[in-house]
Amino acid sequence: MPALLHNRPDKPPLAVFESASILLYLARTFDKGFRFHFEDDDLEQEMLDWCFWQMSNLGPAQGNCNFWVRYRDEEQRNDFAKERYLIETKRCYQVLNDRLATRQYIVGDKLSLADMCSQPWIRCHFWCGIDLAPYPHLEAWHDRIERLPVILDALKVPSQDLVTRIKQDPELEGRIMDGMRKKREEEREKRTREEALAAE
């Protein structure tokens, strides 16, 4: 679970959790010039709508899609679940594609938290087997966002991001999946041993 601890100089430390809550907290606390959110109440509300849309639609759908496409073991195979979440993720992509048909950004005329919420999921489209070609407006937005200096800087923290590394090294994806399979096998063996001990 994403979490942030803000050690404030004049107040007790404040813990903030969940990604949308963290983004909103950072914007209210540090973005007094409204660089990434809006001074206009209507635009701010529209931005919040799209932030929470991502949290309740795109994120859960693509997260589940990633699991059934990438992470499940063979004995967990469930074609119905895989297809269900793939369809739902594509539906979310179409919602964004329609939204971006007549605009450069999801809300207003600048990069905002609304874009920042969805951008990390869309840049990982390939991980759940989705091609952006059927979503030309979304693809154009994705390419445009990826070139923004502020996004390029963010992707360097703490070092080159994993998505870029995977695209540059096709074998890295296989090594990641092998490592994840090995970890799941170790965890399964550990659970089996613990259950056997508990049954004694």
Asked if the structure places residue 193 within a domain, the reply is yes
- pLDDT (tens digit, 9 = 90+) per residue, 185-196? 888 888 888 888
Taking 80 as the threshold, does the pLDDT of residue 73 lie above it?
no
The pLDDT of residue 83: 94
| Position with higher pLDDT, 108 vs 178 | 108
Domain count along the chain: 3
Asked whether residue 36 is domain-assigned, the answer is no
User: Can you give the pTM of this predicted structure?
Assistant: 0.85
Question: What does the pLDDT read at residue 172?
Answer: 84
**Mean pLDDT in residue range 73-91:** 89
Q: Could you tell me if 156 and 78 lie in one domain? A: yes
Question: Do 4 and 59 fall into the same domain?
Answer: no
Q: What is the average per-residue pLDDT within 38-60?
A: 97
Q: What is the pLDDT, as a whole number, of residue 67?
A: 87
What average pLDDT does range 129-158 have in this prediction?
93
**In the chain, % of residues over pLDDT 90:** 66
Beta-strand (E) ranges in the chain?
3-6, 14-17
What's the farthest any 2 CA atoms get from each other in the chain? Answer: 66
Q: Is the pLDDT of residue 171 over 90?
A: no
Amino acid at 94: Q
Confidence of residue 90 (pLDDT cuts 50, 70, 90): very high
Q: Which tokens go with 53?
A: 């849309």
Shared-domain flag, residues 96 and 3 = no
The rounded distance, in Å, linking the Cα atoms of 178 and 157 is 25
Are residues 135 and 150 part of one domain?
A: yes
pLDDT of residue 195: 84
Mean pLDDT in residue range 124-139: 95
Model confidence at 34: pLDDT above 90: yes
pLDDT at 147 over 90: yes
Quote the pLDDT of residue 57.
97
Query: Which alpha helices (DSSP H) does 100-169 contain, by range?
Result: 113-122, 136-146, 149-154, 162-168
Burial-class residue 84 by CB neighbours within 10 Å (0-12, 13-18, 19+).
middle
Based on the fold, state whether residues 20 and 45 are members of the same structural domain: no
Q: What is the DSSP letter of 127?
A: G
Peptide bond into 158 cis (omega under 30): yes
Residue 35 lies in a domain: no
∠ Cα 122 111 43 (to 5°): 110
Same domain for 173 and 158: no
Q: How far is CA 81 from the centre of its chain?
A: 20
What average pLDDT is seen over the chain? Answer: 91
Residue 30, classed as helix, strand or coil, is helix
17: β partners: 3
Closest CA to 81 of 94, 60, 65: 65
Within-domain flag for 147 = yes
pLDDT for 136 equals 98
Average pLDDT over residues 31-43: 97
User: Tokens at residue 40, please?
Assistant: 């206009």
- The proportion of the chain whose per-residue pLDDT surpasses 70, expressed as a percent, equals 100
Q: How far apart are CA 142 and CA 83, in angstroms?
A: 24
Nearest-angstrom CA–CA distance, 53 and 199? 45
What distance in Å separates the CA atoms of residue 149 and residue 152, rounded to the nearest whole number? Answer: 5
Domain around 178? 169-199
How far is it, in rounded angstroms, from Cα 4 to Cα 80?
A: 37
